[in-house]
A = this chain, B = another copy of it.
Amino acid sequence: MIIIMKPSATSAEVDSVVHRIRDLGQDVHLSAGEARTIIGILGDTQRLNRNSFEVMAGVEQALRVSQPFKVASREFQATDTVIDVRGVKIGGEHFVVMAGPCSVESRSQLLETAHAVKEAGAHILRGGAFKPRSSPYSFQGLGEEGLEYLVEAREQTGLPIITEVLGANEVPLVAQYTDILQIGARNMQNYRLLQAVGKVDTPVFLKRGMSSTLQDLLMAAEYILASGNYNVILCERGIRTFTRFTRNTFDINAIPALKQLTHLPVIADPSHGTGKWDLVAAVAKAGLIAGADGLMIEVHPHPAEAWSDGAQSLKPQRFAELMCDLRALAPLAHRLL
């Protein structure tokens, strides 16, 4: 059950409701928005009486959230969550493009790519410093050195940065450098990591697991939200199916479906979603038109020499062409780009 306070509700009235809920043996989540405060009651609320809350001072409405994901649901918050990352808005009417190499391979590779994607119009720079690789014998990323290059690229271009964090222990270190913490598909149900990023303020970019249902994804987001970090961005990056021609099957249905189910921003990743650079532009544009709040695109100056994901990386020139197409399409999707 969630309790929506009146816009005029005082903080004493909010406290009074919270106190009441706790007396009844339930825990709460507070969502204090600009206009009003919403109180989520956690756990089994079958035996609670909605009316008993609605008669309290400052309460506008008490309603039950039918979905297992509570704070993430549209029932909890009807308006889109908009997250501000160093002035770049994610969610709402904004369309955000995150671009950069799969891995940070060297200072020069990153800076070259950063300037190229900045010039083409990207808003956020991506790059992996800690890489989740299938083989323990493969390149595992430059680590903190990679984070330093990302910060240098941010300083030179003004682009906020996003990079992956692999373990709960590394959250403080990575959060010290990055503007957005990425949780990879393989860690989508790594609950200790979800809880750890839930305890910091840094926005979290949560990639859908390769065989996760939409509910699985939203429940993973709920772990972060329930830990106190409300700045969660979801990412559809393709699911694992029987298909062979493409690396994954980009689930275009998930875009409008998630926009119905949740108020959190939803980003499309056509690079992983297809695994083939020559399909990326078509799926990127489809993602925009289907309602995504933005894109994550892998760009590499020399894809053939990339240390990872070369086959799905765009060259800067092709990325620039894609940005032109996206700018032409954005108004028809009622988006600012």
Contacts and interface: CB of A to CB of B under 8 A. Distances in A.
Contacts of A273: 253
Q: Which of A167, A170, A282 has the most CB of B within 10 A?
A: A282
Contacts of A250: 251-253
A276 B261 CA distance: 14
A103 to B, nearest CB: 15
Contact of A282 (B167, B223, B255): B255
A215 interface: yes
A293 interface: no
Interface in A33-92: 42-43, 68, 70
A333 B134 CA distance: 34
Contacts of A289: 282, 285-286, 288-289, 329
Contact of A242 (B240, B274, B290): B240
Interface string A225-249: 0110000000000011111111001
B213 A243 contact: yes
A288 B133 CA distance: 33
A332 to B, nearest CB: 6
Contacts of A287: 286
Q: How large is the interface on A (under 10, 10 to 19, 20 to 34, 35 or more residues)?
A: 35 or more
A219 interface: yes
A282 B278 contact: no
Nearest to A194: B136
A137 B137 CA distance: 38
A336 interface: no
Contacts of A110: none
Contacts of A148: none
Interface stretch (A121-129, A149-157, A185-193): A185-193
Given A282-B256, A283-B252, A191 B168 contact: no
B242 A132 contact: no
A32 interface: no
Nearest to A274: B253
Q: Which of A132, A186, A222, A291 has the most CB of B within 10 A?
A: A186
A189 B186 contact: yes
Contacts of A244: 213, 215
A173 interface: no
A108 interface: no
Listed from nearest, the 3 A-B pairs whose CB atoms lie closest are A211-B211, A167-B192, A186-B189
Given A135-B219, A136-B227, 9 more contacts: A43-B137, A167-B190, A169-B169, A214-B243, A215-B245, A240-B242, A249-B249, A253-B283, A289-B329
Interface of A: 42-43, 68, 70, 132-137, 166-170, 186-187, 189-193, 209-211, 213-216, 219, 222-223, 226-227, 239-246, 249-253, 255-257, 260, 273-274, 276, 278-279, 282-283, 285-291, 325, 328-329, 332
